[in-house]
Structure 1
């Protein structure tokens, strides 16, 4: 009799990635949930002997799911699968009763090792018969923007991990905002994504074969002052030094995360300060042709204890879309 497996992630792209990473020859019945509320309903209906659970989701996130599973003693074994690889995130989910933690993107060998370690793989394998590959049987529909979002999700988690370790804090991570926007509306999208306060703005260009764009870091001037108290800067360093250090960490790590997933090697320009204490509306963008769509990805990082926030935006040129789409689709083929 097939054993029920549930994959819970708000991204159809991520659900497909997880499904194709499952060990072959399992006698299992795989179901999907797009948020924590759907996952809890499926667990109560007996559809989740093993639950692969994402953390950052709308309506109910993974932490909340774990709390309900523990408080109601629901019958499921939870393995967290997340792009948030901060030590504090791992500690929290283990304290809430998760069986283990797997970082995105999924490494099949690590997944097999975890299932072997806890005896789950032996329990689910069917020794007397072979089953066709799960990855070929399971069909999961997704929009290409979900693919871009998932790549950004993994990359932002890697950047947050570096910043969290440096500042000894926990970084709150949202769901990345992904849009395909006509060039003439680019300034409007940036204004909607970034709070219009007195901001410091750093820009860094990037390019590789067929893909290019600009990374922008926005941070409120008052938050930059707060960061100087917890950053423990070297003697004689200035707020400008701190701004450049933070931008190097977040932009560098995020772009490295994107490049690693898509098997690219970006050349990056020298970071440039576009302004200090300016409003977003004062920025001017080269939007190209009026009908040319630009891919924009907005990521808002927050330091929970200090209520400090900054926003990273990746803006790709219109002619980058075909190469990006091809690379992203390759991840689930």
Structure 2
């Protein structure tokens, strides 16, 4: 069976790309969080087609393309990235990519690229359903305010930890809560994570923030904070709470300033330590049916640290948020 490998450090983006594949295309789909994982899967023969992001930790898209050429893997690569610089297109093409699609990916754009290169031929003329219900202008607006809030949180984190924080483009999507649950489950079964959830509420706006840190990050986080004692469960819990407090608090403050609202934050709740992501997300999946999800993935240069911050807003909050940001939506 033809296999497709989706490589993106974003939890949400991986499943969104997969959802935009033609529905009547019998393929096996695999996922990688960065270039190193993608190369391992390609070596196993999983990835006749690679859908590749550029801005990723460990091994980015450019380095991955170079490695594919060096190893001679017979995969065909389509880059899917938010980097719209003409130089990015020229660079990835010179490294062997057959096409370049801008984020957020649309089913029609992806299918057109697949047809253009003879990878997929539709069996019928029926149109694919759009993988997102968000109007592009609305998504761009939320992405803009999230970008500013993310930068403020990253700056705060960088000053406290004295490190360089890698800031990707935020992912913004309106999704079913059950779908979000499925999106998060593509983390390998062996990957264990710890997470904190914190509710927030403002005039006409309510939601929850999830801060998810992989267990493999704790040793390096402890080094950054110059922790001398053994990194046991209690120390890990303190590090998790500190990171969550910085990221959630600063991000919410940045969003509040731009929407001219004040958020009240609930007490942070530890959803779990050393658990599979499915066990953690089951707690939040019962709260509401649909959510506006803003996902930000933070990385620290020179360290094996990766943290996902996911801001979840209830569907009924969007009317208030849209009104608050009407000046941006009109631009």
- TM-score (norm. length: structure 2): 0.55
Q: For the structure 1 residues 288 and 251, does the alpha-carbon distance in structure 2 shift closer, same or farther, using more than 3 Å as the test?
A: closer
Give the SS at the match of 1:162.
helix
Quote how far apart the aligned CAs of 1:61 are.
9.2
Are the aligned partners of 1:147 and 1:329 in contact in 2 as well (CA < 8 Å)?
no
Aligned to 1:325: 322
Would the aligned equivalents of 1:186 and 1:287 in 2 still touch at CA under 8 Å? no
Rounded Cα–Cα distance in structure 2 between residues aligned with 1:166 and 1:268: 22
Q: 1:252 Cα shift?
A: 0.4
Partner of residue 298 from structure 1, selected from 274, 281, 295:
295
Give 1:314 deviation, angstroms.
Answer: 0.4
Aligned equivalent of 1:209: 203
Which secondary structure state, in structure 2, belongs to the residue aligned with residue 232 of structure 1?
Answer: coil
TM-superposed deviation, 1:329: 2.0
Q: Which of 37, 58, 79 is the matching residue for 2:83?
A: 58
Is 1:149 matched up with 2:146? no
- Which digits, 9 at most, give the CA deviation of each residue in 1:250-271, with x for residues without a partner? 0000000000111010000011
- Note the 1:244-263 alignment, pairs <5 A: 244-263=241-260
Instruction: Give the Å deviation of 1:232.
Output: 2.6
Following superposition of structure 1 onto structure 2, how do residues 38-49 of structure 1 map, counting pairs within 5 Å? none
Unaligned runs of at least 5 residues, structure 2: 1-80, 90-134
Tell me the CA shift for residue 239 of structure 1: 2.0
Cα shift at 1:242: 1.4
**In 2, Cα distance between the equivalents of 1:166 and 1:323?**
34
Shift of 1:57: 4.8
> What secondary structure, in the 3-state scheme, does the structure 2 residue paired with 1:143 have?
helix
RMSD of the TM alignment (CA)? 2.8
CA distances 1:15-44 after superposition (whole Å, capped 9, x unpaired): xxxxxxxxxxxxxxxxxxxxxxxxxxxxxx
Larger Rg: 1
Secondary structure in 1 aligned to 2:212? strand
Q: Any conservation in 1 of the 2:176–2:290 contact (CA below 8 Å)?
A: yes
TM-superposed CA distance for 1:287, in Å, is 4.5
Unaligned runs of 5+ in 1: 1-55, 66-140
Distance in 1, Cα, partners of 2:193 & 2:228: 23
Whole-Å separation in 1 of the counterparts to 2:169 and 2:321: 20
Q: What is the alpha-carbon distance in structure 2 between the residues aligned to residue 297 and residue 158 of structure 1?
A: 15
Q: How many equivalent pairs are there?
A: 200
How far residue 180 of structure 1 moved from its aligned partner, in angstroms, is: 0.4
SS of the aligned residue for 1:238 comes to: helix
